[in-house]
Chain A
């Protein structure tokens, strides 16, 4: 019997009205995708028609750039990312009009309470019949801090410490009730089985939460947990907790190294490669011919705004005033960033390769530094197949430059080519997001703890 071929998986990354910050200027771009739910619903149906694993919504709890750096004016007026539907509300709405696709929303651990977050994701999981996912992030922009009573955002280490504890509280709450806790027996008048209820009683450094959660256990065991941290501390958290990782490697070698390292780190948590799916981001540009693809690429590259790019570099500069530097000169020595640490390392590497500030900025301002992949369906399939077979990924997150046309092209042109090659599904494998992603249903943590060590708090991970 032949071993089943590994297949690609896809997340459609949603940063409406476009992942290319100024891609909304493209003639095909529909800018109203940022606030019009009907357009989001149409795209969800399209993505589901293409059998994509999930829609993956990005988020921040502020208008990006509303707090100006170094005396620049507030707001990045050329950037399309200004106002959008709050993504947890968006995925709840999409749950009502789709039936198979996974629905992932970002939600920060920095400015929320774990009880509220646990409750909302688990609710969306019930509404969708087991298709919800939580992209766990820490907030890294000043813009966000000032909306929540703080002058600056939390320091990198504290943020992750809080995130790790937040995660453990959420998991402990999600498992408040065993699968068969609710007997609802009219004759005896017993609603639930007291012994199948678990009260978390968490007391930690950042949170004190008693429980139980007022939502029954998920149809897929638990909502899927996604993460994007690629710093050392971020990878460690992902190795312990994530089931889906969104990354930004641009070469097969880097992709494979990252994936291998993640698998190695997972070992000590008794987790295997099948417990996690790693999705590097790509910005896809599809043409029917190579020259059409090349033209489309040039067109989008021509729309890149230098100012948006340099502002992007400034945000990662760790306090060095980039606006005071020659944009066509080298990237200066940066101070350690308290924002996105892995992304800062990425631009430092570009600087070492001899790129100027403007050039680095242009990479950020086109694809947020993700790999731009352009070509015909066949050449794109070749490229992705090579990544898959080299063990450099489990799939890709697709950062469409604008919406909805690039998504439609992906579904109608690229997906059939991958299906012909047998490296993408022709039907959803199951009903839940977990079944389709191929990650296992976790055992209820309280039951697990009861059967292994005597009463161990859900949060203790030492």
Chain B
């Protein structure tokens, strides 16, 4: 039996996922708006044989409500502006050839026709390397950019997301493979019998179709998801090819992993059909001490007000600045935005007896992701254990700033993983589905026709 191998994704959160990471002497502060840097990082990831590069997204400046209220301390927050990820993917497709290109696009403030079209286009442009991270918008700052005062309730958002997914995948099947004839002799460009109307009429959407782009090189672009709540897990189990998740402890990661695969099985999906990739923030050093020093240095760069702000979207509306920084994390009211994330933060604080400042800095440092501080060997050990114990199929590497920590990970950790035979030395295929090892979905209309033929013959 061939050894299971890790999948690696570069989780790109510019100018750095650590809220004070940009202040580090090595950090490139223009990383948020400079396409050349995005291209560089993606090429570094491709040279290291990463499966994907992945862009998270929000449709607003986080904290814009507070900014609008006049909270000037927010001017210290570096994750303010950036390149819109789907346009960025299209451009990155032209300067890479193998790496998967995944971007977040929300189902809450978009139209499915536009999204289906855009990701299918990126899949065509990239020769089959596009991925869509399907999310529901969870930052309340976003709503007011789209005519709403508040977010939709959590359940409605997921119901809309599920229907959105049905419409998008239905549109992706609009064209059977031989729908375009382009026959100069007869003058017929398309075969109207091979192009299908979706005629979707649902609770949230009414979409006739067909899509004005043919089926893409990998059938459908890869679908990724990150929901960890009950509704999120169920949707992921049914629909996702890749699941992004924030797991900090191996026992919980294993439980999550087993749960998703078990749920997926209920939808007739095998364990290999869905890849689970927790986030991981590396803080590397040649020695453990050097790595710890680097981490301490980073933490010391973080102002208290910035640290506290990292808890604001999970605070359930509670103003944490009124509480003593050296006291415990107070009880939080329920959050409509990010339920799972809130539970995780509260649990971490309680279990480790952390003060408000400590949990705030901790959260700001990794935004809930696991921070691994150590040598390349230590990091490889940890990743291998998670792989072998079925806590993960791979990891999304989340960096504190750019480009150095990512370059170091690729230069130091990847070769170590390859030596151990748990990471590829060459891409297996050309498309993202081939490299991830997930199936190409059959076109529903082609399948219907095929099944009808079988039935007829029997």
Chain A interface residues (CB < 8 Å from chain B): 22, 24-25, 27, 29, 31-32, 35, 37, 41, 60-63, 66-67, 73-75, 77-80, 82-86, 88-90, 92-97, 111-113, 115-116, 119-120, 122-124, 126-127, 146-150, 177, 182, 184, 186, 189-194, 197, 199, 201, 207-216, 305
Contacts and interface: CB of A to CB of B under 8 A. Distances in A.
Contacts of B147: 207-209
A127 B23 contact: no
Contacts of B191: 77
A403 to B, nearest CB: 13
26 contacts: A35-B124, A35-B213, A35-B214, A37-B124, A60-B212, A61-B117, A75-B192, A82-B180, A84-B213, A89-B86, A94-B94, A95-B91, A115-B60, A126-B83, A127-B88, A146-B206, A147-B209, A182-B81, A186-B25, A189-B23, A191-B75, A194-B67, A197-B75, A199-B68, A215-B82, A215-B83
B110 A116 contact: yes
B236 interface: no
A92 B81 contact: no
A108 to B, nearest CB: 10
Nearest to A197: B67
Given A84-B212, A115-B146, A216-B81, A124 B76 contact: no
B91 A92 contact: yes
Contact of A210 (B145, B190, B209): B145
Given A75-B192, A78-B189, A96-B94, A194 B75 contact: yes
| Most chain A Cβ neighbours within 10 Å, of B22, B39, B91 | B91
Interface in B164-219: 175, 180, 182, 184, 187-192, 195, 197, 205-210, 212-214
A132 to B, nearest CB: 10
Nearest to B209: A147
B23 to A, nearest CB: 5
B72 interface: yes
Interface string B33-67: 10100010000000000000000001111001001
A127 B35 contact: yes
B195 A215 contact: no
B445 to A, nearest CB: 15
A66 B195 CA distance: 10
B121 A85 contact: yes
B243 interface: no
B80 interface: yes
A78 B188 contact: yes
A291 to B, nearest CB: 25
Given A83-B214, A85-B124, A148-B113, A123 B188 contact: no
B118 interface: yes
Contacts of A63: 195, 210, 212
A126 to B, nearest CB: 6
Contact of B113 (A96, A113, A147): A147
Contacts of A113: 109-110, 146
Given A90-B121, A95-B91, A148-B207, A210 B213 contact: no
